[in-house]
Amino acid sequence: MISVVILTKNEAGDIAGAIKSVAFSDDVHVFDSLSTDGTQQIARDLGATVHERAFDNYAAQRNASLTVPQFRHDWILILDADERPTLELAREMLTSTQNAPPEVAAFRLRRHDYLWDTWLKHAQITPYYTRLVRRGRARYIREINEVIEVDGSIVELTAPLNHYPFSKGIAHWVTKHNTYSTMEAQLLATGAAFEDASVKTALFGKDRAERRRAQKALFFRVPARPLVKWLYMMFFRGAILDGYAGLTYSTLQSFYEYLIELKRREILLKRS
């Protein structure tokens, strides 16, 4: 069997759907950042065990969510409230964890991001996320856009994990990414965001996550980064094939990149 932990902060609109999507588990935990909108009560009413912790940073919160609950099972599925495992994925996870050899510490899931009713098949930059981990074998680093480190090998599954990042509307997405961009700008201004900038690792890293970290660090050095990102998503990735949703998502992501750069410059100007 698989335990589940869902991280929340004012997720009253999404938490019921998230809990119902993991009906295959008899051990569902909601790890809440002091919600004020009734999220905790909805979770309890649906049979989940609720834990609460004041949010400090993303890595610390996720690490606490893997250590504070008393999980019944050796495998833990980590979810956000706007994510939904498909029935195919539930079956694949249950079978894969039952047959996993000891050296396998985690499974990487293939996430499908949606904007309205459109799967962003081409616009989505990276669909792979390590979300199913063996208890005691994973931890998170990096305060923003946190990265998971696993003690052991990672196996990729094929069935989709559906993700609805716009379930609360465009305004909520913009507000959230306004916060993210401030934190990213601070990392850039201190130079911390460049620590993994290695061409060798970006091309030949031992796993997908390591290569992705190096590629992101290198990308922060690219001139005219917001425009480059828009062109990359629209025409190299093929977001144009996703229609209006692809155009919208590419533009929002480029705007997010522009905010990071503007805030980085603002920080440096204030220091000079």
Q: How confident is the model at residue 187 (pLDDT cuts 50, 70, 90)?
A: confident
Three-class DSSP category at 131: strand
- pLDDT at residue 100 in the model: 97
pLDDT in tens, 47-99: 999 999 999 989 999 999 999 999 999 999 999 999 999 999 999 999 999 99
**Tokens of residue 254, six digits:** 């480029």
pLDDT (tens digit, 9 = 90+) per residue, 17-37? 999 999 999 999 999 999 999
155 DSSP β-pair partners: 107
Give CA torsion, residues 20, 149, 101, 133, to 10 deg.
Answer: -10
- What confidence score (pLDDT) does residue 141 get? 87
CA separation, residue 168 to residues 10, 23, 239, 253 (Å): 11, 23, 22, 17
**Mean of pLDDT values over 161-190:** 94
Model pTM?
A: 0.88
Taking alpha carbons only, the member of 70, 60, 57, 65 closest to residue 32 is 65
Buried b (16+ CB within 10 A) or exposed e, 75-114: bbbbbbbbbbbeeebbebbeebbeebeeebbbbbbebbbb
Q: Are 24 and 50 in contact (CB under 8 A)?
A: no
| Whole-number Å distance between alpha carbons of 144 and 248 | 24
Instruction: Read off the pLDDT band of 196 (50, 70, 90).
Output: low
Which region, left, alpha or beta, applies to residue 25 given φ > 0 means left and ψ of -120 to 50 means alpha? beta
Confidence of residue 155 (pLDDT cuts 50, 70, 90): very high
Euclidean distance between CA atoms 70 and 81, whole angstroms: 20
Please count the residues of the chain. Answer: 272
Rounded CA separation 244/58 (Å): 32
What local confidence, expressed as pLDDT, does residue 50 receive? Answer: 98
User: Looking at residue 195, what is its pLDDT?
Assistant: 63
For residue range 212-266, what is the model confidence (pLDDT) as tens digits? 666 666 777 788 999 999 999 999 999 999 999 999 999 999 999 999 999 999 9
Read off the pLDDT band of 136 (50, 70, 90): very high
Triad 42, 8, 175: Cα angle to 5°: 120
Q: What is the pLDDT of residues 33-49, one digit of tens each?
A: 999 999 999 999 999 99
- pLDDT band of residue 147 (cuts 50, 70, 90) is confident
Q: Kind of pairing, strands 2-8 and 128-134? A: unpaired
Report residue 194 CA to chain centroid gap.
20
- Supply the DSSP symbol for 147: E
Task: Write the pLDDT tens digit of every residue in 202-227.
Answer: 556 666 666 666 666 677 778 899 99
Domain residue spans of the chain? 2-163, 170-271
What number does CATH give the domain 2-163? 3.90.550.10
Sequence-distant contacts of 171-174: CB under 8 A, at least 24 apart: 173/252, 174/252
pLDDT of residue 214: 65
